[in-house]
């Protein structure tokens, strides 16, 4: 039985040593399994790559895949999935916020044969700002309502899964990737393993608020077409409103011979409102078209500059 661990790293020079020590302990406590650690260096600007090379030198289980620039965590995870050779594979963050000590338990659950994947779920959000928690919770609520990629509140990217599920994920080759949605979309039976949130061991978060906001709208657009329907609903609403106004104006004109009840300010307001709504709808349509444009170009997901793996899969 072989287990592959996929670890995306972006400027993680400070966390890599503690992580590797912990991984050595955990893998050492599971002598019946073979391990493979796939570190994906996502265009780090610090010493991440040289540290990974060091690991690879002393430990033959270590594979590093180094990108030519920062392609984002999603691309890094995809590169990992494409190059998995184990029967089970897990993705985990480099900062130990996804505790490696959970791996033995996850493996045990998969081995009962009842589940295809074990996903870690945070029950707390300690160390995270209130605003970020609020937006994050709201995002999951909206997503749950408008898409069919069944997502769990507090779900993380930390998952152990069977090879079959990995192959399904690799087959989803879309370029706007949103893993939490993809994991849900491919189906399979998932066991949710609750754990307490831990703060990152060193360094700082690689996600700014803006990057997260973009990521979440990407997620919504990739797994739901509900925003497109907003245009239709607003259109219907405004047509009904307009008909009401016309009717009212007609009645006023006939019964009271009173024509100028709509003042200038009101007219300007109405024009601004309607053009705003039109622009909004056009923007939503544009977002989807830009997504299609990106898919159609069919560019590679990532470009590998250096690696110690022989026949590496590039996609």
> Judged by CB, which is closer to ligand UDP: 70, or 176?
70
Give CA separation, 101 vs 23, 104, 242, 257, 312, in Å.
8, 7, 62, 81, 29
Q: Report the residue from 79, 82, 94, 120 that binds ligand UDP according to the rule CB under 6 A.
A: 94
3-state secondary structure of 193: strand
Sites for ligand UDP among residues 24-53 (CB under 6 A)? 42
* 205 binding ligand UDP? (CB under 6 A): yes
* 14 binding ligand UDP? (CB under 6 A): no
The half-sphere exposure of 65 on its side-chain side, counting CA atoms within 13 A, is 31
> Judged by CB, which is closer to Mg ion: 4, or 97?
97
Q: Report the residue from 95, 154, 161, 185 that binds Mg ion according to the rule CB under 5 A.
A: 95
> Judged by CB, which is closer to ligand UDP: 9, or 281?
9
In the bound complex, what is the minimum distance in angstroms from residue 81's beta carbon to ligand UDP? 14
Q: 78 is written with which tokens?
A: 């995809």
> Judged by CB, which is closer to ligand UDP: 217, or 226?
217
Q: Which stretch binds ligand UDP (CB under 6 A): 92-100, 174-182, 234-242, 253-261?
A: 92-100
Residue 96 CA to its chain's centroid (Å): 18
* 11 binding Mg ion? (CB under 5 A): no
Q: Which of 113, 114, 112, 132 is nearest to 122 (CA)?
A: 132
Contact 158, 93 (CB under 8 A): yes
> Judged by CB, which is closer to Mg ion: 120, or 168?
120
3-state secondary structure of 298: coil
- Report the partner that residue 8 touches, choosing among Mg ion, ligand UDP, none (CB closer than 5 to 8 A by kind): ligand UDP
3-state secondary structure of 117: strand
* 97 binding Mg ion? (CB under 5 A): yes
Alpha carbons 42 and 72: distance in angstroms, whole number:
7
In the bound complex, what is the minimum distance in angstroms from residue 117's beta carbon to Mg ion? 21
Give CA separation, 130 vs 24, 28, 125, 208, in Å.
35, 38, 9, 15
User: Total residues contacting ligand UDP (rule CB under 6 A)?
Assistant: 17
- Report the partner that residue 12 touches, choosing among ligand UDP, Mg ion, none (CB closer than 5 to 8 A by kind): ligand UDP
Contact 79, 300 (CB under 8 A): no
Q: Which stretch binds Mg ion (CB under 5 A): 49-57, 69-77, 96-104, 178-186?
A: 96-104
Alpha carbons 273 and 254: distance in angstroms, whole number:
28
Q: Which of 43, 298, 94, 40 is nearest to 176 (CA)?
A: 298
- Report the partner that residue 9 touches, choosing among Mg ion, ligand UDP, none (CB closer than 5 to 8 A by kind): ligand UDP
In the bound complex, what is the minimum distance in angstroms from residue 95's beta carbon to Mg ion? 4
Q: Report the residue from 122, 159, 162, 206 that binds ligand UDP according to the rule CB under 6 A.
A: 206
Q: Report the residue from 72, 86, 100, 184 that binds ligand UDP according to the rule CB under 6 A.
A: 72
Q: Which stretch binds ligand UDP (CB under 6 A): 30-38, 202-210, 274-282, 301-309?
A: 202-210
> Which residue's structure tokens are 């590797």?
20
What are the CB-based long-range contacts (under 8 Å, 24+) for 228-234? 228/284, 228/285, 228/288, 230/280, 230/281, 230/284, 231/281, 231/284, 231/285, 234/277, 234/280, 234/281
> Judged by CB, which is closer to ligand UDP: 97, or 224?
97
Chain positions contacting ligand UDP, by CB under 6 A: 8-10, 12, 42, 70, 72-73, 76, 93-95, 97, 200, 205-207
């Amino acid at each position: 039985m072989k287990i592959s661990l996929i670890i995306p790293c972006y400027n993680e020079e400070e966390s890599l040593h503690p992580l590797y020590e912990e991984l050595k302990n955990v893998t050492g406590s599971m002598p019946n399994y073979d391990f493979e650690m796939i570190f994906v260096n996502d265009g780090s600007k610090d010493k991440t790559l040289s540290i990974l090379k060091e690991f690879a030198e002393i430990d033959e289980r270590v594979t590093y895949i180094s990108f030519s620039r920062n392609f984002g965590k999603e691309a890094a995870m995809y590169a990992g999935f494409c190059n998995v050779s184990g029967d089970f594979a897990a993705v985990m963050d480099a900062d130990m916020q996804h505790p490696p000590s959970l791996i033995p338990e996850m493996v045990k659950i998969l081995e009962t044969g009842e589940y295809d994947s074990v996903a870690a779920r945070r029950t707390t959000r300690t160390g995270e700002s209130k605003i970020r928690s609020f937006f994050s919770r709201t995002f999951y609520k909206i997503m749950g309502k408008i898409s069919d990629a069944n997502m769990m509140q507090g779900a993380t990217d930390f998952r152990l899964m069977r090879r079959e599920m990995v192959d399904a994920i690799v087959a989803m080759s879309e370029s706007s990737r949103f893993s939490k949605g993809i994991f849900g979309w491919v189906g399979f039976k998932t066991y949710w393993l609750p754990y307490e949130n831990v703060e990152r061991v060193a360094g700082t978060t690689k996600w700014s608020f803006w990057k997260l906001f973009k990521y979440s709208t990407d997620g919504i657009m990739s797994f739901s077409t509900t925003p497109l329907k907003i245009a239709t609903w607003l259109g219907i609403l405004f047509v009904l409103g307009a008909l009401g106004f016309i009717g009212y104006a007609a009645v006023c004109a006939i019964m009271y011979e009173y024509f100028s009840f709509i003042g200038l300010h009101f007219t300007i307001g109405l024009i601004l409102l309607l053009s705003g709504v039109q622009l909004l709808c056009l923007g939503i349509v544009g977002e989807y078209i830009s997504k299609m444009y990106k898919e159609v170009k069919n560019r590679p997901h990532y470009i590998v500059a250096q690696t110690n793996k022989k026949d590496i899969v590039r996609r």
